[in-house]
Amino acid sequence: STFQGDISGGLPLVRFRNVFPAEFTQDQITTRLDYTLYKGDSNGNGLNTLSGSFFYANFPAFDPFSSDTLVSPTPLIKDDRNRTLSVTNTHIFSANIINEVRFGYFYLDNSRRLDERFLADELTNSGQGIFNPASVFAPGAPTQRLARFAGTGNLSDFSVNAPTDIFNQRRQTTLTFADILTSLRVSHAFRLGGEHKRNFYA
């Protein structure tokens, strides 16, 4: 946001806002495979099938509004990526007993960073003569960029510089293992199994 106007002349104080347009691109690939490992006997007993699906997506983006305030002159660069894999093995022992083994892989990276134009020397702590103690332990762009200042009162919708988590690394990986046994008995169905999930964050 920029304030312009001639206080002493005939033009009133004019307020206007300039932002870069938002940009978003997404590339997706989805595939599925079903394969019969064993056809079983004439009654279908012993049938063993394998199925898998895979989802791939890259969706980089340029967000001109990186803050929770209405007016923020610090755009955000995103390079989000998503990978999802699911594999299921189904074995029919008999008409009454079915077993399913499942494996799942989920990966999501929605890390973000500040536009490098806002890391010019004059827009860093050192360029403004400010010392950030955190730079001793974690030197680099996250601690060199100027801290965020947000207005209060009538200026509560205005902020300067990027949010504190602008360089937040948001990578998540989840592994899932499951085994489910189904038993059919006349008018009842019994399901017994377990599932284990392992989450990784970085």
Q: Tens of pLDDT along 131-175?
A: 888 788 878 777 888 777 777 777 766 777 776 667 677 889 999
Number of C-beta neighbours around residue 65 at 10 A: 15
How far lies 128's CA from each of 23, 79, 110, 141, 190, in Å? 31, 30, 31, 15, 69
Question: Taking a C-beta distance cutoff of 8 angstroms, is the pair 189, 182 a contact?
Answer: yes
pLDDT digits (tens, 9 = 90+) for 66-102: 666 555 667 778 888 999 999 999 999 988 899 999 9
Total-model pTM: 0.70
Model pLDDT, residue 20: 64
